[in-house]
Amino acid sequence: MAVDMVQKTLECFEKVYGDSKGAKVYFAPGRVNLIGEHTDYNGGHVFPCALSIGTYAAVRPRKDGKLFLYSGNIPDKGVTESRLGDFRPLKEDSWTGYPKGVMWAFDKQGMKMERGLDIAFYGNIPNGSGLSSSASLEVLTGYFLRDLYGFDVSNVELALIGQDCENNYNGMNCGIMDQFASAMGKAGNAIFLDTATLEYKYAPLDLRGLEIIITNTNKKHKLVGSAYNDRRRESEEALKQLKAVPALSGIKALGELSNEDFDKYAEAISDPVVRKRARHAVYENNRTIEAVAVLERGEIARFGELMNQSHVSLRDDYEVSCPELDVLAEEAWKIPGCLGARMTGGGFGGCTVSIVKEEAAEEFQKKVGDAYREKIGYDCSFYTPGIGGGPREEA
Ligand code: GLA
C-alpha cells in the first residue's frame, strides 16, 4: 500500500507542477490512542500508537522564495501560493495552516528556510476520523524541513513544534499526544508517555490472536475545538481549587493525584460539573498506568475492562462522547470476542478502538455495523490499519 501511496503522491505532484524530477517523498503516520484520553493537558499519561496510515508529501526545493502547497485530498482548493517569511495566520488558510504553521514555528526559533518549496500532500487517513491527520501533516512538514534545510531538531522537538503550530497558529489548544505519537511511533509498539515530563517507553503489543479494530462513526463533527478548549478550562479551574487545599498546594497537575487523594479532597471543587471533569482526568490517568502494567503481565482481559471503564468515564464524567460513539462502544461490548472498546481521541465524533479476538472479527463487524445502521441511520466504517513506525523518507 505504501508503494501505491508514494506513486499516487508523485502523480499529484506531477499534475500541478509538471514533472517530479528531483522531488523527494516523505511520510508521517496518524495515531490511535488505546487508553489515556484527555489526560495529556492534565500532566497525565497516554498510551497511543502510530498507524500504518498517514500523510505523504512530495517536496522539491525551488530557486526563489515562493512556497506552493497542494493537497491531492482536497483538489478543489487548487495550489496555494505564499512567500517565505510571511507566515501570518490567515482566515483562508484552512488545511494550509498546518504546514505553514510549522514553518512559522521553525522560523520563530531562528530556523530559516532559505529557498521556497513545491509541495504536494496526499494522505490515507479518512477525513475527520479523529485519527490525527493534522498531527501527521505537522510532523511530516517538520520532518521534511529538517531533512531539506538541515535543521538540528530531534523527533521529540518535531512533536513540540507541531503542537506549537496547532496551539498558537491554528488556535486548537491540544496536548502533545497526537504529535508525539506520530513523531515517535515504532512498528508493533504503543508508546507509554508521561506528558508531565515527556518521559516515555515503548510497550510491545503482543496481540497474537487479537486484532485492533477501529470503527469510524462517519459523523461530521463541528465545534470540536471550542468544546475541547472548554474542557481544558474546566480542568484548569479544578486544579486551581484543589491547590487551595493546604495538603495539595504543591501539585502542578491533576495527573499527580491518586484516586484516593482525589476522592478525599474532591469537595474542594465547588461546581459539580467541574468536579466530574477532574474525576475523569485523575481516574483516567491512574487507569492508564494500570492498563500498561496489566498489559506487561499479559492480562489482556483486564486491559479490555479498563478500556471499557475509560469510555464510561468519558461519556458520563467528561461528557465528550456522543450517541454515535456510545452505540459503537455499547454494541461492541455485547460481542463475547471483544475484550474492550472505547472512543478514541478528542471525542464528539471520530472513532472507537476495540480489541477483538481474530475469530470474532467478522461477527464484530457484522453485528456492530448492522446495529449502528439501524440505530443511527447510516453506516459506520471499519479499519484494521496495523501499528506502524514514525516519520520517514520513502525510498
Ligand atoms: C485530541 C488532542 C490530544 C488529546 C486528545 C484527547 O486528539 O489533539 O492532544 O488531548 O484529543 O485525549
**Does residue 335 contact residue 367 with C-beta atoms inside 8 Å?**
yes
Q: For residue 115, is it within any domain?
A: yes
Is 178 designated active site?
A: yes
Q: Which residues contact 292 (CB under 8 A, 6 or more apart)?
A: 45, 47, 192, 203
Say if residue 191 is in the same domain as residue 215. Answer: no
- Cell readout for 326 is 456510545
226 band by pLDDT with thresholds 50, 70 and 90: confident
pLDDT in tens, 48-100: 999 999 999 999 999 999 999 999 999 999 999 998 877 887 777 889 999 99
Q: Does residue 2 have a pLDDT over 80?
A: no
Number of domains in the chain: 2
Say if residue 376 is in the same domain as residue 256. Answer: yes
Q: For residue 44, is it within any domain?
A: no
The three-class DSSP label of residue 21 is coil
Phi, psi values for residue 316, rounded to 5°: -95, -40
The β-bridge partners of 70 are 120
Whole-number Å distance between alpha carbons of 163 and 170: 10
Say if residue 192 is in the same domain as residue 330. Answer: no
- Whether ligand 1 lies within 6 angstroms of the CB of 277 is answered as no
- Tell me which residue of 219, 211, 185 sits closest to 347, measured CA to CA: 219
Q: Does residue 1 have a pLDDT over 70?
A: no
Mean pLDDT score, 4-19: 97
Mean pLDDT score, 167-175: 92
In angstroms, the first-to-last Cα distance of the chain is: 14
Q: Which residues contact 2 (CB under 8 A, 6 or more apart)?
A: 27, 52, 394
**Does residue 334 contact residue 357 with C-beta atoms inside 8 Å?**
no
Percent of the chain whose pLDDT exceeds 90: 92
Q: For residue 41, is it within any domain?
A: no
Mean pLDDT score, 292-316: 97
Mean pLDDT score, 6-31: 98
- Whether ligand 1 lies within 6 angstroms of the CB of 284 is answered as no
Atom index in ligand 1 nearest the CA of residue 39 equals 12
Pocket test for ligand 1, best of 136, 174, 320, 344 (most atoms within 8 A of CB): 174
Ligand 1 midpoint to CA 263 (Å): 25
pLDDT (0 to 100) of residue 224: 64
Mean pLDDT score, 305-329: 98
Task: Tell me 274's DSSP state.
Answer: H
Say if residue 276 is in the same domain as residue 367. Answer: yes
Q: For residue 43, is it within any domain?
A: no
R_g (Cα) of the chain, nearest Å: 21
The β-bridge partners of 216 are 351, 381
List the residue whose alpha carbon is closest to atom 9 of ligand 1. Answer: 175
Q: Does residue 127 have a pLDDT over 90?
A: no
Q: Name the strands in the sheet holding 189-194, side by side, starting at the edge strand that comes first in the sequence.
A: 45-46, 189-194, 199-204
Mean pLDDT score, 248-257: 97
H or E element at residue 143 = helix 133-149
Pocket test for ligand 1, best of 33, 34, 37, 40 (most atoms within 8 A of CB): 40
- Whether ligand 1 lies within 6 angstroms of the CB of 332 is answered as no
- Whether ligand 1 lies within 6 angstroms of the CB of 175 is answered as yes
Say if residue 145 is in the same domain as residue 230. Answer: no
Say if residue 353 is in the same domain as residue 305. Answer: yes
Say if residue 214 is in the same domain as residue 357. Answer: yes
Q: What is the chain's mean pLDDT, rounded?
A: 96
Ligand 1 midpoint to CA 33 (Å): 9
Say if residue 351 is in the same domain as residue 366. Answer: yes
Q: For residue 42, is it within any domain?
A: no
Q: Does residue 223 have a pLDDT over 60?
A: no
Q: What is the pTM of this model?
A: 0.97
pLDDT (0 to 100) of residue 87: 81
Give the CA count within 13 Å in the CB-facing half-sphere of 101. Answer: 28
pLDDT (0 to 100) of residue 92: 74
pLDDT in tens, 263-296: 999 999 999 999 999 999 999 999 999 999 999 9
Active-site pick, 118, 164, 178, 326: 178
Q: For residue 142, is it within any domain?
A: yes
- Cell readout for 223 is 465545534
Atom index in ligand 1 nearest the CA of residue 46 equals 12
Q: Which residues span the domain enclosing 226?
A: 210-383
Whole-number Å distance between alpha carbons of 293 and 295: 5
Which spans in 334-360 are helix H?
A: none
Which spans in 244-340 are helix H?
A: 259-265, 272-296, 300-316, 323-333
Mean pLDDT score, 232-261: 98
Say if residue 251 is in the same domain as residue 139. Answer: no
Say if residue 92 is in the same domain as residue 225. Answer: no
pLDDT in tens, 338-390: 999 999 999 999 999 999 999 999 999 999 999 999 999 999 999 999 999 99
Ligand 1 midpoint to CA 38 (Å): 6
- Cell readout for 204 is 510491545
Domain CATH number, residue 101: 3.30.230.10
Say if residue 221 is in the same domain as residue 194. Answer: no
Q: Which residues contact 109 (CB under 8 A, 6 or more apart)?
A: 161
Pocket test for ligand 1, best of 177, 221, 351 (most atoms within 8 A of CB): 177
pLDDT (0 to 100) of residue 221: 67
- Tell me which residue of 211, 189, 208, 210 sits closest to 200, measured CA to CA: 189
Residue for grid cell 517569511 = 85
- Whether ligand 1 lies within 6 angstroms of the CB of 43 is answered as no
Say if residue 20 is in the same domain as residue 133. Answer: yes
Percent of the chain whose pLDDT exceeds 70: 99
Task: Provide the pairing of β-strand 66-71 with 117-123.
Answer: parallel
Mean pLDDT score, 228-238: 96
pLDDT (0 to 100) of residue 222: 60
Domain CATH number, residue 256: 3.30.70.890
- Whether ligand 1 lies within 6 angstroms of the CB of 349 is answered as no
Mean pLDDT score, 15-40: 98
